[in-house]
Amino acid sequence: MTARILVERNVMAPMRDGVRLAADVYRPDDDGRHPVLVHRIPYDKSIAQNVGSQMVNPIVAAEHGYAVVVQDCRGCFQSEGVMTLYADEGPDGYDTVEWAAAQPWSTGRVGIYGSSYMGVTCLQAAVAAPPHLEAAMAYLTAANLYQGWVYSGGALELGFNLGYTQGRALPAMARLGVDRDRQRELRRQMAECAADRAAFLRTLPLSEAPVLRERDILPYWHEFIDHDAYDDYWKRLDVAARADEIRAPVMHIAGWYDQFLKGHLDLNQSLQRHPDARVRESHRFIVGPWDHNSYMGYNLSRAGDREFGARALSGVAVVSDLLLQWFDHWLRDEDTPLMAQPRARYFLMGGENAWREADAWPPPSSPARYYLHGGGRANSRFGDGVLSTEPPRAGPPDSYRYDPRDPVPTIGGRTFATVTGPGGVRDQAEVETRDDVLVYTSARLLEPLTIAGNVAVELWIASSAPDTDFTGKLVDVEPGGYCAIVADGIQRARFRDSFESPRFLEPGVVASLTIDLWDVAYTFERGHSLRLEISSSSFPRFSRNANSTVRPEFAGPDDLRVAVQQVFHDERRPSSLTLPVVERALAAPLPPRGA
């Protein structure tokens, strides 16, 4: 371990367009050359030594023998230029890696790491493939900015993006030379939005939300909502889709209750198919039982109401050790315990709450279909909705009215920030009393049931509207009545066939769609029941669909319509939930009522 550390402040690195980005460089105080770790951050590089940027303290890494470059992103703090969310991180990451490799204190071997937005900078640099980048490590971040960051299932991730994007206005105003009177007015609007976040989230149309409507200050907000389909705008930023361009080994860490899980899942699949055997075989993927707050040092082993125990510990204390092992192997040619472990490691929630390992994610499983049944009155948990492995025969559809003026509230799950409380495991019992939530419940399990992999809901639906949303939620009903959310998802109807080519519904005409509830590893214990919720909103996590041909982000109050929704479950139209079962269980013959 190095005894003395040298810290150089505001070292300027030139980018290809002449803009200079500022970095603090932490390195051993000697005349030697050292492998380099790059960390690019929009939240002020000066905080890195205090919070470790949620992955490793740069002083600790420098004591370990690395030179650590902690850089302000373009347009942030001491760096020059104007920030454009996401778009410049690939080129700037490439140029920074190559600059770091050429420094006199560098061996020319460079790694890059980051969490959350810093993880975006990491992965964008990885797919840009700078020649001197030898390894990358990302934590609770996004690889596909369209799916699971700005949109999910075609619906805007409102709760996260509205506030986060507005928060970029303050540094942008200073860079753009906005006059003081206008700055004062916009700051006033931001303060009002912060004071009444519920009203801010209900702004209609979203295209005219306070501060965000200022196109000269936040042009990318309008680009986000203009590009609601998965088009070239998003494809160029999609690391998962472009993973074949990555030339360095990647390790990434995700959380089951993190809003950004989807990008990790997609990236994992792409890297497991990578044409370069070195990248493919060296890839490492870890998923723990965390929400997004864990990377910030909160809820280190908890997600919502559920405490997963000391084995589930996350945060800097755990991640920094993994990070040093990862880069010691790739940048210093050391054998480390991490590299002797299987490529996938995941936390199996429920039951014993334990880590499991596999050669790949997901592990082998058998698909089990649980069909929706009922007599047409599945509304709320007091209705007649049943979930069973028996295929349906005849039966009337269930129906409900979705009113965007009174959406179903987001309660826990994979949500970054809502006015209803934290994400993670939350009790769904109150939500399930609403008539606009269809509830289907299985018999109580006679044996534990373990699933590991993708969860999907296939629905046969009809709507009185040309466009609408359908949401799905997998719930674990405990004997005491607590209804724990396990996985959730949404599908905007116009994108039911393709996220690239929207197609409206024909009102009243039956159609099929699939709601992706993403992946999970979970054990439903003996005596518990499976439950599926179907509705059309989860607000404010997702934007409200106006039930019209108007794009939801441009819909005003007068565009909102009530939609009558139908869900079919008969022999010709067998709506179902598909679970990846790795340990099958039996069920009692009769389902519970009103649990």
CA distance 385 to 205: 36
User: 525: exposed, middle or buried (C-beta count within 10 Å: 0-12, 13-18, 19+)?
Assistant: middle
- The answer to whether 292 is a known catalytic residue is yes
DSSP classification of residue 391: P
Kindly write down the DSSP assignment for every residue of 501-567, as one continuous string.
S-----TT--EEEEEEEEEEEEEEPTT-EEEEEEES--BTTBPPP-SSSS-GGG--GGG---EEEEE
The 10 Å Cβ neighbour count of residue 593 is: 11
Sequence-distant (6+) residues with CB within 8 A of 33 are 104, 105, 106, 107
Tokens 């790949």 found at: 360
CA distance 146 to 392: 36
CA distance 521 to 301: 16
Count CA atoms within 13 Å of residue 137 on its CB side.
25
DSSP classification of residue 157: B
| Cβ contact 325:336 at 8 Å | yes
The one catalytic residue among 92, 258, 266, 398: 258
| Cβ contact 90:117 at 8 Å | no
Phi, psi of 544, deg, nearest 5: -80, 130
Sequence-distant (6+) residues with CB within 8 A of 457 are 472, 489, 514, 515, 517, 532, 534, 575, 576, 577, 578
Sequence-distant (6+) residues with CB within 8 A of 185 are none
- The answer to whether 116 is a known catalytic residue is yes
The CA distances from residue 461 to 67, 382, 512, in Å, are 57, 22, 6
The 10 Å Cβ neighbour count of residue 210 is: 18
* Burial profile 17-28: b = 16 or more Cβ within 10 angstroms, e = fewer: eebebbbbbbbb
* Burial profile 300-328: b = 16 or more Cβ within 10 angstroms, e = fewer: bbbbbebebeeebebbbebbbebbbbbbb
CA distance 332 to 337: 14
The one catalytic residue among 116, 270, 282, 464: 116
The one catalytic residue among 292, 329, 373, 569: 292
| Cβ contact 400:438 at 8 Å | yes
Q: What positions carry a catalytic annotation?
A: 116, 258, 292
